[in-house]
Copies of this chain bind each other. A is one copy, B any other.
Amino acid sequence: MDNTPAPRDTPRSGTRLDSYVDRYAARTAGMTASEIRALFAVASRPEVVSLAGGMPNISGLPLDVVGNAIGDLIAANGPVALQYGSGQGDPRLREQICEVMRLEGIDAHPDDVVVTVGSQQAVDLVTRIFCDPGDVVLCEAPSYVGALGVFKSFQCDVVHIEMDADGLVPEALEQAITTVRAAGKTIKFLYTIPNFHNPAGITLAPERRPQVLEICRRHDILVLEDNPYGLLGFDGDPKRALRADEAEGVIYLGSFSKTFSPGMRVGWALAPHAVREKLVLAQESATLCPPSFSQMAVSAYLTTHDWQGQIKQMREMYRERRDAMMDALRDYMPASCAWNEPDGGFFVWVTLPPGIDAKAMLPRAVTARVAYVPGTAFFADGFGSGSMRLSFCYPTPERIREGVRRLAGVLEAEMELRETFGAGAPTRGLEGRSGYDAPSSDLS
């Protein structure tokens, strides 16, 4: 086994050690660089098909419309757009955010919306106001790598809850609550991604939604509903949000990163009134105020463009890519692999044949010019080595097909190696390391 240290923790030169090593806060120990990060630097080369990243494909955005809207904004409202704004966020944008949420059955008041620097910051601020070291956060198994990073950096204990094809399993949730509380631990909230889950690609079934809410209400557990992909379903209307049926017990997080532009970094939290007050104070402490400029740019885009029509085009584009991935998986992958068929979002979760370690295999995959995210990235506890997340959001359908073909080749070689040498087959990778990987925009 190769014990090469994680590249990001290595000083730039041998003489530059970290003279601050004894001075960091305890929470900093939870902020560790991903050992797969260096591989992603390689994976960003054009010859590599990256099925790893979560970058939306924004090539369809009408740049002339966006440019004109922003030009008009500066001309008409420059002194406001370039000035400090409210810590809670631009009032007009908060009204528009309520219109967006109405598509998912949410009836909210702009007073209860807090604009954040992407919904990542919303996860950060919620965790900041609720979680002391040792507090438990319940998450799906697997869960979003960026949220796990926040929970770890605030020294929370993550307890994963089983999912099946219909999403979070209510009985498993109930059981986990009982077990955690019996151990004398405090549960601060359930973090859940009900729609087109990242990384699992699964959607919480409609009949389970009231069950999950009922369990959380009965046990007095706050729900943190993260919904960046909600409007990117391939079939039918947007799903009804958990928040639509429970206003006091749910903090809802939304984002314009997947439906418009991640470079704007505009997300939001809709929270019960008292919690919203704390979030605004936390936002003021963190940034004084979110950027007026990008908030008003998003607002101008929503005002001047048929954004719902644009999202419809995006859905069709992503559906075509999902189909390309499904076809390629069926055509190329070994029979002993399993995967789901997501009906929205960006991701599919692949379970590998027994004995194959996705993290150990990654360097060989990158050598074969294809990249993915190993399943361990999405667990706080070292599980997931036998699975991987594939994303179909960014490459073209042809590249997706070619990427899956390469991946299948690597996987078959790996299986053959194991068949020849047994479970002790030599590997050159990073296996045996547990834990999740720090978020980066490439993993979002």
Complex contacts, A423 vs chain B, CB 8 Å: none
User: Are A24 and B278 neighbours in the complex by a CB distance under 8 Å?
Assistant: yes
Complex contacts, A263 vs chain B, CB 8 Å: 80-85, 291-293
Complex contacts, A33 vs chain B, CB 8 Å: 277, 281
Enumerate A219-250 residues with CB–CB distance to B below 8 Å. 222, 248
Partner pick for A75 among B67, B150, B438, CB 8 A cutoff: B67
A58-B82, A130-B24 given; A284·B87 CB < 8 A: no
Count this chain's copies in the assembly.
Answer: 2
Min CB distance A24 to B, Å, is 6
Min CB distance A295 to B, Å, is 9
User: Are B63 and A273 neighbours in the complex by a CB distance under 8 Å?
Assistant: no
A31-B129, A263-B84 given; A120·B66 CB < 8 A: no
User: Are A222 and B188 neighbours in the complex by a CB distance under 8 Å?
Assistant: no
User: Are A121 and B287 neighbours in the complex by a CB distance under 8 Å?
Assistant: yes
Task: Give the size range of A's interface with the partner.
Answer: 35 or more
User: Are A120 and B287 neighbours in the complex by a CB distance under 8 Å?
Assistant: yes
A70 within 8 A of B: yes
A150-B285, A273-B11, A281-B438 given; A25·B79 CB < 8 A: no
Most chain B beta carbons < 10 A, residue from A67, A80, A84, A281: A84
Min CB distance A31 to B, Å, is 4
User: Are B149 and A285 neighbours in the complex by a CB distance under 8 Å?
Assistant: yes
Which of A13-21, A331-339, A364-372, A396-404 sits within the interface?
Answer: A13-21
The CA of A53 and the CA of B75, in the complex, are separated in Å by 25
The CA of A289 and the CA of B290, in the complex, are separated in Å by 13
The CA of A25 and the CA of B126, in the complex, are separated in Å by 10
Complex contacts, A124 vs chain B, CB 8 Å: 285-287
A97 within 8 A of B: no
The CA of A131 and the CA of B23, in the complex, are separated in Å by 8
A71-B71, A153-B282, A286-B120 given; A19·B291 CB < 8 A: no
A118 within 8 A of B: yes
Complex contacts, A415 vs chain B, CB 8 Å: none
A181 within 8 A of B: no
Q: What 0/1 pattern do residues 311 to 350 of A give for CB contact below 8 A with B?
A: 0000000000000000000000000000000000000000
A9-B277, A129-B31 given; A439·B153 CB < 8 A: no
Complex contacts, A286 vs chain B, CB 8 Å: 117, 120-121, 124, 286
User: Are A278 and B440 neighbours in the complex by a CB distance under 8 Å?
Assistant: no
The CA of A146 and the CA of B94, in the complex, are separated in Å by 25
The CA of A124 and the CA of B284, in the complex, are separated in Å by 10
Complex contacts, A132 vs chain B, CB 8 Å: 25-27
Partner pick for A275 among B20, B86, B282, B289, CB 8 A cutoff: B20
Find the B residue at minimum CB distance from A265: B291
Enumerate A275-307 residues with CB–CB distance to B below 8 Å. 275, 277-278, 281-282, 284-294, 297
The CA of A118 and the CA of B364, in the complex, are separated in Å by 41
Q: What 0/1 pattern do residues 128 to 158 of A give for CB contact below 8 A with B?
A: 1111100100000000001001100110000
Min CB distance A159 to B, Å, is 17
A444 within 8 A of B: yes
The CA of A124 and the CA of B286, in the complex, are separated in Å by 6
Min CB distance A17 to B, Å, is 7
Most chain B beta carbons < 10 A, residue from A8, A291, A444: A291
User: Are A31 and B281 neighbours in the complex by a CB distance under 8 Å?
Assistant: yes
A429 within 8 A of B: no
The CA of A418 and the CA of B263, in the complex, are separated in Å by 57
Enumerate A396-444 residues with CB–CB distance to B below 8 Å. 438-442, 444
A274 within 8 A of B: yes
Q: Please give the residue numbers on chain A whose beta carbons come within 8 Å of chain B beta carbons, in ascending order.
A: 8-9, 11-12, 16-21, 23-28, 31-33, 55-56, 58-59, 61, 63-64, 66-68, 70-71, 74-75, 78-87, 111, 117-118, 120-121, 124, 128-132, 135, 146, 149-150, 153-154, 188, 222, 248, 257, 261-265, 272-275, 277-278, 281-282, 284-294, 297, 438-442, 444
6 further A-B contacts with Cβ under 8 Å, apart from A56-B83, A149-B284, are A25-B131, A63-B79, A66-B78, A83-B262, A117-B287, A288-B440
